[in-house]
Amino acid sequence: MLTSMIRLKNRKNSQGISLIESMSTLAIFSVLVLPLTLLLMEYEKGASSTKAKFAILDSVEKKLEAALALPFNDIPEGKTSNVIIQSQNGNTLDLNSSTISNKKVNYECSVEVMPVNFSAVTDSSTRDIKSVKLENGLKKITISAIWGKGTEKQNIQLIAYKANL
């Protein structure tokens, strides 16, 4: 205890901190703070990327809802992009490119016509079954969003089915 008091007394007489003390403090500080700074930078980068993906996903969901709001016969078969599809009832599907979170996003609508088979008992006493096949009974609608270039190219696809009722 007496030696620590003597050191404190001697410390009061000194004119400041030594170069070795300041360098060791700086080294300890940089060893602790630099990794934390890099970690926070990576976290922010990941958070902004996730935010952009959710914004793009939201836009794809809205486009898929718009496609499902179109009458069955107004939904074009095959692949469609960079157009606005307008229906007779006033609904529209905008497939033009847009910019979301500083990313240029291209949209594509792919529609595949699928047959539907129905089977039903026509006479319960004889248990006769009648099958009907509708060639144009169902449309598989895929809305895709594509963004990025080269190896960083990404996409999101949502799929829904619309019946010809």
What pLDDT, in 10s, does the model give residues 108-143? 999 999 998 888 888 778 888 888 888 888 999 999
Nearest to 143 by CA among 68, 35, 88: 68
87 and 72 Cβ atoms separated by less than 8 Å? no
Structure tokens that stand for 53 in this block: 């993906």
Number of structural domains the chain divides into: 1
pLDDT of the residue at 4: 45
Tell me what pLDDT residue 123 has. 78
Encoding tokens for residue 2? 């007496």
Do the domain assignments include residue 3?
no
In-domain check, residue 154: yes
**29 sits in which H/E element:** helix 19-69
Segments in the chain below pLDDT 70: 1-15
The answer to whether position 68 is within a domain reads yes
Would you say residue 143 lies in a domain?
A: yes
pLDDT at position 96 is 95
Domain-embedded: residue 8: no
User: Residue 77's Cα: distance from chain center in Å?
Assistant: 26
Q: What is the pLDDT of residue 11?
A: 54
What local confidence, expressed as pLDDT, does residue 7 receive? 55
Taking CA 131 as the corner, what is the angle to CA 129 and CA 136, rounded to the nearest 5 degrees?
Answer: 160
Task: Print the domain residue range for 55.
Answer: 16-163
Per-residue pLDDT, 98: 94
**Has residue 100 been placed in a domain?**
yes
CA–CA separation, 7 and 4 (whole Å): 5
Q: Is residue 2 part of a domain?
A: no
11 belongs to a structural domain? no
CA dist., res. 122 & res. 143, Å (int): 39
